[in-house]
Structure 1
Amino acid sequence: MKFTAFYEALLEAKGLSFSTGGSGVGKGGRKLSYKAVVQGNGNLLIGKAYTAILELQPGDEYEIKLGRKQIRLIPVGGSEEED
């Protein structure tokens, strides 16, 4: 996983953009909403466009950290940085 891409996506989600590449436009030219909806079966789906931005691969493992009104995914073996 590329941590630079992860942090660029995080900053872009907060309204800041430092990347020279994509402009947050997903497949079909639509802008990414940076929102997710809980499905009827309880799953939270974030979508392929976001996993592509972060270069996530099948089999990547993450630790789930729950906080006040937030969910953090920390790569297993990675370090958690505070805001």
Structure 2
Amino acid sequence: MAKQKTSEPLTGTALLQKVKTLATLSKTQKAKACGYYTVTKGGGERVNLLQFLTALLEAEGIALDEPAAERGRDGRSANYRIAVQANGHLLIGTAYTEQMALQPGDAFELVLGRKHIQLKQLNPID
């Protein structure tokens, strides 16, 4: 059954304060009281315990995942290395272009070193 959207659940310090006031309840009851549940089409309630616990960790300043900006499209971290493709091209991935805020048409100068290639961004022509 599809779920219906409920009001926004508590986050941050508001979540921490609410949980402290609910010390005698179970974690499922705490999650529901903080808004971490959905109402199904049939009128039943489903508690989103994983979202609740994740929000609690984030409110305490504990991040389980690295921020999305540091990962590429498929979730891998950038390792700042690229390989020459079979056709001789060098492909710079999305993780790098997003991190550098590059736009289509941006130009670079290749600086060839003894053991490296450096990309130097050229100033845009106005």
Specify which of 85, 101, 119 is matched with residue 73 of structure 1: 119
Give structure 1 stretches of 5+ with no counterpart: 1-20, 79-83
User: For 1:29, what is the secondary structure of its paired residue?
Assistant: coil
How far has the Cα of 1:26 moved from its partner? Answer: 2.2
Specify which of 20, 44, 48 is matched with residue 94 of structure 2: 48
Residue-pair matches, total: 58
How far has the Cα of 1:34 moved from its partner? Answer: 1.9
Question: Hey, what's the Cα distance between the residues in 1 that align with 2:77 and 2:121?
Answer: 26
Q: Name the structure where strand makes up a greater proportion of residues.
A: 1
Question: Hey, what's the Cα distance between the residues in 2 that align with 1:24 and 1:58?
Answer: 20
How far has the Cα of 1:69 moved from its partner? Answer: 0.9
Percent of residue pairs bearing the same amino acid type: 47
Deviations 1:1-23 (A, max 9, x none): xxxxxxxxxxxxxxxxxxxx667
- Structure 1: which 4+ aligned runs deviate by more than 4 Å? none
Q: What corresponds to 2:106 in structure 1?
A: 60
Question: Hey, what's the Cα distance between the residues in 2 that align with 1:35 and 1:77?
Answer: 24
Higher relative contact order (CA 8 A, sep 6+): 1
Counterpart of 1:50 in structure 2: which amino acid?
Y
Give structure 2 stretches of 5+ with no counterpart: 1-66
Specify which of 70, 74, 79 is matched with residue 28 of structure 1: 74
Counterpart of 1:34 in structure 2: which amino acid?
Y
User: For 1:37, what is the secondary structure of its paired residue?
Assistant: coil
**TM-score, structure 2 as length reference:** 0.40
Counterpart of 1:63 in structure 2: which amino acid?
E
Deviations 1:21-70 (A, max 9, x none): 66732223322222211101000112111111101111111111101111
State the structure with more CA Rg.
Answer: 2
